[in-house]
Amino acid sequence: MIWDNYNNESIPWLRGPVQDSIFLSTRIRFARNLTGYNFKSRIYPSDLEQLYKTIKKALENTSFYSLGKLYQTSRLLSFEKKYLIERHLISSDLSRAGKYSGAFIYESDSALSILINEEDHLRISQVFSSTQLEDCYIKLSKLYQELAGKLDYAYSSRWGYLTACPTNCGTGMRVSFLCHLPGIVSADEFEGFQKGLTAMDLSLRGFYGEGSQAYGNIFQIYSNKSLGLSEKALLKSTGQGLEFIREKEFEAREKLKSKSFFQLEDAVWRTVGIIKYARAISSTDALRFLSTLWLGYSLGILNSSGHKSFPPDLFILVQPVHLQLLLEEPLSAREMDVFRAQFIRKQFRDETWYREQFD
Amino acid sequence: MDNAGNSKKERVLCQKCHKNPAQITVIQVIGGQKTELKLCEKCAQKAGYEDQLRQFPQNEEGMISELLSKLNEEVEKEQNLFCPNCGLTFLEFKSALKFGCANCYEAFEKKIVPMLSKIHHATWHVRRKPGGEQSSLTLKELENKLEQAVKDERFEEAAQLRDLIKEQKNDLG
Ligand SMILES: [Zn+2]
Ligand SMILES: [Zn+2]
């Protein structure tokens, strides 16, 4: 089974050495298509297999192929696909894609995923914890260079790398951040914040992508300009975007603190009580509680014994498929809620730096 | 001259000769004050406003039918447009917003410029060069593109091209 290849008790690339009180992770991805094949919507069925094999062969000849694993989507069980989606390693688009689509995945201190025959022939992305934008770019560029030498990409001098969607042409590069914005949400400053993002060519969507809800106040914020600026220029402008997000969220948190500290303190401690005593917790409630606790730690309402960080992978570990993996028997939804309550309680009791509050 | 279009409405007389019906309105800004001057064809010509006269067809009916036939022509052109490589029609592209192949970009080039300009605020790819951003076109090619863009009144595109030319000249200098 696919999860045997991964650590399901913590996600190494989210619990990385660098942590932050707002940013869970930073992702960069390149979209590419090969010359000689139509794009996804118009490709000849007979070409799909050939295309898949060409990309597979190029991957097999890279130095990083032995580190990860290539999965053909059609050979994965739906449970396995859900697992990869929960972990943010594949998209739900890929999980629905046809026989000759796949994903090459490699997790270490960062996560690499290369999607084959999703919206574009190739989507190459790298995720690092917190805000390691520069490191993420350097690592991804290295892997990319190696692969690019083996494949022939569709390119024009006017439009750059040619992609299926007009929003991706040019560099084909997109930067995105997963960030925790409880301050902006509760201080009711969302509208102004979104206008600010738009002005910086950034957009926002929910935790699990387009159309999904921002459970636990977690959002994906991503760049939407890829034409007319180089990779380095995009890196610079998204770096500025990152600072803007941080500034706005800190401002909102400070405002909450000075205007309604008592209510905030009360909400945090109530949540501690729930985590300590609740006997069943649904997954949406879990994300809500985790968000409140994280805010409590980052504002110093809860004491983290010298550790400033909070394990952001909990937002993924409390998802149904990830929880199920820790058990022998399949659970009903109700039993799952009971197990989730136990799991979260244990997480907070076992981590020494939480002990003060959760003993 | 044919004044059929104007005769139904209240006639406004030329503010210079006060004889002929006014044909164009000239807006002047003098010392920060905006003034409107309504002139007849003759006086307008004398005052050097020939260009403005040419822009306004003399007769409203003529103007409307000309506009309509231009519009129809555009719609028809759009309906017949397709990519010769993958067969995707422009209308299909417009509804799904996904290209069918790399060649679609060229096949629909004229049509997609405004759309891409809206998404990216740019219509030319640039790469990183030491000291700045650069297009993969030569200076001469860029200058020709700029001239064409200005001629076609594609001003946002022209602005990006002008910046690219400046970058390349800086690189050379
Ligand atoms: Zn006159
Ligand atoms: Zn095409």
CA of B87 to the centre of ligand 2 (A): 6
Q: Which of A4-8, A50-54, A119-123, B59-63 has the lowest mean pLDDT?
A: B59-63
Q: Is A159 on the interface with B (CB under 8 A)?
A: yes
- Asked if A60 and A290 count as a contact pair (C-beta separation under 8 A), the reply is no
Amino acid identity of residue B99, one-letter, is F
Q: So what's the pLDDT on residue B2?
A: 45
User: Which chain A residues are closer than 8 Å to B128 by Cβ?
Assistant: 230-233
User: Which chain A residues are closer than 8 Å to B136 by Cβ?
Assistant: 157
ipTM of the complex model: 0.88
For residue A36, pLDDT beyond 80: yes
Q: In sequence order, what are the residues at sequence separation of 6 or more whose Cβ sits closer than 8 angstroms to the Cβ of residue B168? A: B134, B135, B139, B142
Q: So what's the pLDDT on residue A352?
A: 45
Q: Is B107 exposed, middle or buried (0-12, 13-18, 19+ CB in 10 A)?
A: buried
Q: So what's the pLDDT on residue B68?
A: 67
Q: So what's the pLDDT on residue A308?
A: 47
Distance CA A37, CA A40 (A): 9
Name the residue among A159, A165, A230 with its Cβ closest to that of B128: A230
Distance CA B149, CA B94 (A): 23
Q: Where are the alpha helices (DSSP H) in chain A?
A: 45-60, 78-86, 92-96, 133-148, 182-186, 190-199, 231-277, 283-298, 314-317, 320-324, 333-350, 355-358
Low-confidence ranges of chain B (pLDDT < 50): 1-9, 57, 173
Mean pLDDT of chain A: 90
Q: So what's the pLDDT on residue A197?
A: 96
- What is the reported pTM? 0.79
Residue with tokens 């999607």: A115
For residue A358, pLDDT beyond 70: no
For residue A70, pLDDT beyond 50: yes
Q: So what's the pLDDT on residue B15?
A: 85
For residue A353, pLDDT beyond 80: no
Q: Beta A69-72 vs A102-107: how paired, if at all? A: antiparallel
Q: So what's the pLDDT on residue B159?
A: 83
Residue of A nearest to B130 (CA): A232
Contact B86 A42 (CB under 8 A): yes
Q: So what's the pLDDT on residue B64?
A: 61
Which pLDDT tens digit goes with each residue over A174-191? 999 999 999 999 888 889
Q: So what's the pLDDT on residue A47?
A: 93
Q: What domains lie within chain B, and their CATH numbers?
A: 10-57 (3.30.60.230)
For residue A283, pLDDT beyond 50: yes
Q: So what's the pLDDT on residue B138?
A: 82
Residue with tokens 């989730």: A340
Q: Is A12 exposed, middle or buried (0-12, 13-18, 19+ CB in 10 A)?
A: middle
Q: So what's the pLDDT on residue B10?
A: 59
User: Which chain A residues are closer than 8 Å to B94 by Cβ?
Assistant: none
Contact B85 A165 (CB under 8 A): no
- Asked if A296 and A302 count as a contact pair (C-beta separation under 8 A), the reply is yes
